[in-house]
Amino acid sequence: MRFEEFVAERLDGLLRYATVLTNDPHLAQDVVQDVLLRAQQRWDGIEAPPTYVRRMITNEYLSWRRRAVRRMVPSSHDVLDALGPPEADPSAAYDERDAMLGLLETLPRKQRAAIVLRYYENYSDAEIAAVLRCGTSTVRSQISRALATLRTAPHPAVLTTGAPE
């Protein structure tokens, strides 16, 4: 497959993957662009482009995020609690997916990458291990620990708008 054909066919999917990984559309665009520019330089020498490019994007995320975190709004629960502690009042309820995204943000980046590859890309343990360059037992361990954290996401609240009854 020529590089141009690969981009035409796969770019949108790569941008979605990178966005899910980074939770930042701008960073995702930067990462994908950097990776593809580098891949373009040596395209003829790449044996399995889809796997190679996805691995590159994942690696970029793991290194970029340390720098990017400085310009991101902190969103850990500790920070949010400091802004104003959540109350039992149902008007404070919010979408459970927002809560899940908040928990995903608290995961160590390798755990997040493993979760994204499993639940967004539907990769097997072996495929995840190939992208993250680790063993399948490590993959299972990362996902297990991540799920233990993510199971604590709150259940749906009765009210989501705070409207008085």
Q: Which is nearer to another protein, 100 or 134 (CB)?
A: 100
Residues numbered 88-117 forming contacts with another protein, rule: CB under 8 A: 91-98, 100-102, 104, 115-116
CA of 36: how far to CAs of 24, 97, 104, in Å?
A: 18, 31, 27
Binding residue (CB under 8 A) for another protein from 46, 62, 134, 153: 153
Q: Is 15 in the site for another protein (CB under 8 A)?
A: yes
Q: Is 52 in the site for another protein (CB under 8 A)?
A: no
Q: At what angle do helices 3-22 and 49-68 cross, to 10 degrees?
A: 40
Provide the terminal-to-terminal Cα distance of the chain, rounded to the nearest Å.
Answer: 60
CB of 139 to another protein, least distance (A): 16
Q: Which is nearer to another protein, 52 or 94 (CB)?
A: 94
User: Quick one: which of 138, 127, 116 has its CA closest to 62?
Assistant: 116
Q: What are phi and psi of 24, to 5 degrees?
A: -155, 105
The number of beta carbons lying within 10 Å of the beta carbon of residue 54 is 24
CA of 33: how far to CAs of 7, 38, 40, 50, in Å?
A: 11, 9, 10, 15
Q: Which stretch binds another protein (CB under 8 A): 50-58, 85-93, 123-131, 133-141?
A: 85-93
Q: Which stretch binds another protein (CB under 8 A): 12-20, 44-52, 58-66, 126-134?
A: 12-20
Binding residue (CB under 8 A) for another protein from 62, 119, 127, 138: 119
Binding residue (CB under 8 A) for another protein from 85, 88, 158, 165: 85
